[in-house]
Structure 1
């Protein structure tokens, strides 16, 4: 008796259960993430080329970072040097995370978490750097002489247009500091829980992941709003330091590594790619997204290199010392 005769003798319920099982197996084979051994045993030309290109892009990003840091060491004073290097280092770290995702597909969620946390860590560092441009928060209050600041800035410009202008004080600057510093602690805790759920019980992760989204969005909006207000404040005193450009480069971390990632992750599901397990649709999708992020990080690193050309603090200090010597 052949297979077709067997199917004819089966009950309709048995046939439907077989069809549903085969569909589930097909879905699993297309979406499942392979282990490291399966991934490298079934390597394809596309994946090999992607690894080669990703490695070159990562090396290029590290080279740009090295030249930028070398210039900073020559032209920045010590108080500005450390936070500036930390800000520039965000982009090669993201590149390394994208490369690791291509090399080890199973680590994609952990690497995506690293990309996500780069903005959360960069926010407090950037705020520290902004106030070091004016020496300190107390010195800023002295220099401005109680000048009021507008709160109507992105990303809350639509809902905060009715808020009055605020005069910066020590207490209000402390609130602004907490609005930024909550990001690494709050979102770090959330992402730690999500990583544990993803790697221990993925079904539970898919059930509860949407409950975390409002907290993540509110935390990012609150931190970005405080940073935008701070940039506007410091720009009035240090308008030639390209602070808005530096802030835009920091925001690109969220836009490219979070928003773009989520959009492409869903959009690419509608395009058939790859084959059956292990080099399946998920592997191709992750590879394409991370190659795109690597290309964008190279471009952003070049923009960052341009933005952090100013200030040239060491040269300014040397000129001032020479003027004082000549006066004496």
Structure 2
């Protein structure tokens, strides 16, 4: 190599050095914006916004628990034993989600674990709700008898478009078993995926970001199958128990995945366009997650009120009528 070649090589190295340093600065800046602080760093650099957010989140959580306590008290008074346990479990989903959102605000590093808890509430609520639906008609076998072999339409959301070509189906024991498996696959299938994702996130976050998109089709497919089966079941039971507000109860369950999963993911990306917070530790990610979880807490209060209204019927009305008959008999 002659002197001119050496000079050119030295110039190239000199030009590459600032570029490498600039790239490292960009990476460290992006990392500081997205890194979650430890508990000591979080509370050691507390801001007025976060203090106010914690106060509001605590009040909203307490309000949700109060609504839940009132609802459970009413269910315990007005429901018989077969319906009491699944109904109480269903209304318990929403305060648990509120507590998970509050913990996310209190401990930002735990956000993925708390987000998983929110997701678990839906995939556990699905099988519980299906159990409750068939307890409204005593059992699956009793439903087959009461329905009298009436055919059921399969074109229900979220598969109402591509299922139009499917024929009407007469519910039988075997077909109800398939429907049961479509719902019960959610906690096993999605639970396994979320467990793996949590391990990856807290052990090797870079590997998590590389493989997370491969899990999304499996989670979406599992949710669609479960919701489709539940919608068909709601349509079946509504024909026999039309005054039980089953569609409203199903909508309340769907709001869990809509608000805690879809809305969370959409806002998580959309809020990146708004500059919030400062440098590490109270960075953009902390502010973003705080805002999202405050919104979820407000929504869970509203959903809990809707749930309280949905689960008032039908048992309470029937018991009140029985009590009136007893009073008339005594008189």
- The normalised TM-score by structure 2 is 0.93
Q: Unpaired segments of 5 or more residues in structure 1? A: 1-9
Are 2:173 and 1:170 equivalent residues in the alignment?
yes
**SS of match in other structure, 2:243:** helix
- The correspondence for 2:46, drawn from 34, 37, 43, is 43
- The aligned counterpart of 2:9 is none
Where do 4+ consecutive residues of structure 1 move more than 3 Å? 313-318, 320-323
Are 2:202 and 1:221 equivalent residues in the alignment?
no
Distance (Å, rounded) in 2 between the aligned partners of 1:21 and 1:301: 48
Residues 72, 88 of structure 2: 8 Å contact kept: yes
Structure-2 change in CA distance of 1:317 and 1:46 (3 Å): closer
- The correspondence for 2:129, drawn from 116, 126, 146, is 126
- The aligned counterpart of 2:308 is 305
> CA-to-partner distance for each residue in 1:163-204, whole Å, 9 max, x for gaps?
000000000000000000000011000000000000000011
**SS of match in other structure, 1:239:** coil
Residues 78, 319 of structure 2: 8 Å contact kept: no
Residues 76, 311 of structure 1: 8 Å contact kept: no
> CA-to-partner distance for each residue in 1:57-108, whole Å, 9 max, x for gaps?
0000000000000111111111100000000000000000000000000000
Q: How does 1:1-328 map to 2 (within 5 A)?
A: 11-312=14-315, 315-316=318-319, 319=322
Q: Which deviates more, 28-37 or 257-266?
A: 28-37
- The aligned counterpart of 2:5 is none
Residues 77, 313 of structure 1: 8 Å contact kept: no
Deviation at 1:319, TM superposition (A): 2.1
Aligned residues: 317
**SS of match in other structure, 2:154:** coil
Deviation at 1:11, TM superposition (A): 2.1
Structure-2 change in CA distance of 1:220 and 1:143 (3 Å): same
- The aligned counterpart of 1:6 is none
> CA-to-partner distance for each residue in 1:235-293, whole Å, 9 max, x for gaps?
00100000000000000001000000000000001110000000000000000000000
Deviation at 1:316, TM superposition (A): 3.7
Distance (Å, rounded) in 2 between the aligned partners of 1:189 and 1:129: 25
Residues 150, 166 of structure 1: 8 Å contact kept: yes
Distance (Å, rounded) in 2 between the aligned partners of 1:201 and 1:26: 20
Distance (Å, rounded) in 1 between the aligned partners of 2:268 and 2:50: 18
Deviation at 1:321, TM superposition (A): 11
Structure-2 change in CA distance of 1:63 and 1:277 (3 Å): same
- The aligned counterpart of 1:5 is none
Residues 276, 284 of structure 2: 8 Å contact kept: yes
Distance (Å, rounded) in 1 between the aligned partners of 2:176 and 2:230: 11
Root-mean-square deviation (Å): 1.8
> CA-to-partner distance for each residue in 1:115-169, whole Å, 9 max, x for gaps?
0111100000000000000011011111111110000100000110010000000
